[in-house]
Amino acid sequence: MAPADDVMRAGARLAAGGMVGIAGLHVVWARGSSFPFPTVAELHDAVIGRPVRPSPASCYAVAGLLVTAAAATAGLPVRRSRLRRLAVVGVATVLTTRAGFGLSGRTDVLVPGRASPRFRRLDRRVYSPLCLALAIGAGMSLRD
């Protein structure tokens, strides 16, 4: 196996692991936790950008989508199936789109509502670059 293949596999594994971790956060939030923030209000300001609490069902839905995206990135159900390839291309496209809108400061176009200054700052510095890294990692899984 070539070193480039090792890098591709490592990138895909990191992306899949990152998606599972973020899914875990959404489950914790669905259960009412404000982790890693001290209050729910601070969580909403930093992560959503507005003082509206998403329903637990929506948090669980996002978690489920992230686990599904992680599974496809990890090579499931079958590493070389057309369905998996389509799923990974979809994951990479959604994450790249999210990153592009966030980096340009226009996440509000995708998710209407007022975005707090704290959210916009975190979106540009953390959330959007993370989405881009996950998209790249998902794309790396297609080389296998």
Query: 84-94: string of b/e by CB count within 10 Å (b at 16+)?
Result: beebbeebbeb
Q: What are phi and psi of 60, to 5 degrees?
A: -65, -35
Does 128 or 110 have the greater pLDDT score?
Answer: 128
Confidence of residue 144 (pLDDT cuts 50, 70, 90): low
Instruction: With a cut of 60, say whether residue 1 has pLDDT above it.
Output: no
Both tokens of 101, joined, read: 């809108």
Instruction: With a cut of 80, say whether residue 142 has pLDDT above it.
Output: yes
pLDDT digits 0-9 by tens, 78-112: 777 899 999 999 999 999 999 999 999 899 898 88
Both tokens of 6, joined, read: 């090792």
Segment among 20-24, 97-101, 104-108, 114-118 with least mean pLDDT: 114-118
Nearest-5° angle of CA 125, CA 68, CA 27? 65
Looking at residues 29-46, what average pLDDT do you find? 95
Instruction: With a cut of 60, say whether residue 13 has pLDDT above it.
Output: yes
pLDDT digits 0-9 by tens, 49-58: 988 889 999 9
Which pLDDT belongs to residue 53? 86
pTM of the complete model: 0.91
